[in-house]
Amino acid sequence: MSDIFRSSAHIHTSFCDGKNTPEEMVLRAIELGFVSLGFSGHGNSVYDPVCMSKENELLYRQEVLRLQDVYADRLEIILGIEHEAIAPYPDFPYAFMIESVHSILKDGKQYYIDYDFDHMVEAAEGCGDVYKYCEKYFQTCEKAYRDTPAQIAGHFDLVTKFNERHPVIDETDPRYLEPAMAALEAGVKKGLVFEINTGAIARGYRTTPYPAPVFLKRLKELGARVMVNSDCHDAAYLACSYEEARQYLLACGFDSVVRLRRHGLEEIQL
């Protein structure tokens, strides 16, 4: 791993769809020499069974805050949440929030974005075609970014999760790029930090992080801030592909990123 990031602000645990307990994640982070770790359990949502129930969310909060105290001298532990764009905002205060779209609503029907390729085909049919599906996804992002109190935009082009193995979206097509750029610009205008998300590499869906270079280059042009996150569901992949992410950022013109610390965002040079 590249030892310059030594942080991830996108961590899932056994309180939602992660494999490990929060404490196992903390111990792995300490082993890797991390300076900070931001937990971002899937927030309460009726739209997705992997999300935490209200009761579970309370237990999650309690446990992360306990660990924050226990490991205070070894790791900065930060309590956050990943908000599902189409669900209500959390009822409890969080030190940070990631705004993500994992589902869209079309004609009263809910479609998952990142479940599997068959779901994607069904969603594209429900929306009319694959480009209308992408447009609906990015319109949902755009609205979410405008309204959100979050600080971070999660896995911006998640809609391409299956596109390496099943290339059905031409990512240079204006029908894809135009709604995507509109969403991206809304997020930048809001001041959101865009994450370079290596989670789909860890899970074997992709060989490159989100977002694609075309978006990273636009983010650079617009002066947006970016951060590297592992969207970790398994402690073995806590710093997955961080060195590749660094190279990727350099190739897209970035010379610095931010990382989440307890006092806020810290800029680090690449």
DSSP annotation string for 77-116: EEEEEEEETTSPPPSS--SEEEEE--EEEETTEEEESSS-
Shortest CB 220 distance to Zn ion, Å? 23
Q: What does the chain come to in residues?
A: 270
**Would you say 68 or 100 has its CB closer to Zn ion?**
100
Alpha helix stretches (DSSP H) within 107-254: 117-127, 130-147, 174-190, 199-202, 213-221, 242-251
**Would you say 57 or 82 has its CB closer to Zn ion?**
82
**Would you say 112 or 220 has its CB closer to Zn ion?**
112
**Would you say 48 or 63 has its CB closer to Zn ion?**
48
Residues contacting residue 29 through CB under 8 Å, at least 6 positions apart = 8, 37, 75, 238
Shortest CB 213 distance to Zn ion, Å? 21
**Would you say 43 or 270 has its CB closer to Zn ion?**
43
Residue nearest to Zn ion (CB): 100
| Contact (CB, 8 A) for 21 and 28 | no
Shortest CB 149 distance to Zn ion, Å? 17
**Would you say 100 or 163 has its CB closer to Zn ion?**
100
Shortest CB 41 distance to Zn ion, Å? 9
Shortest CB 115 distance to Zn ion, Å? 12
Q: Which residues bind Zn ion (CB under 5 A)?
A: 82, 100, 154, 231
Phi-psi region of 72 (alpha: psi -120 to 50; beta: other; left: phi over 0): alpha
Q: CB count, 10 Å around CB of 227?
A: 24
Shortest CB 57 distance to Zn ion, Å? 15
| Contact (CB, 8 A) for 228 and 9 | no
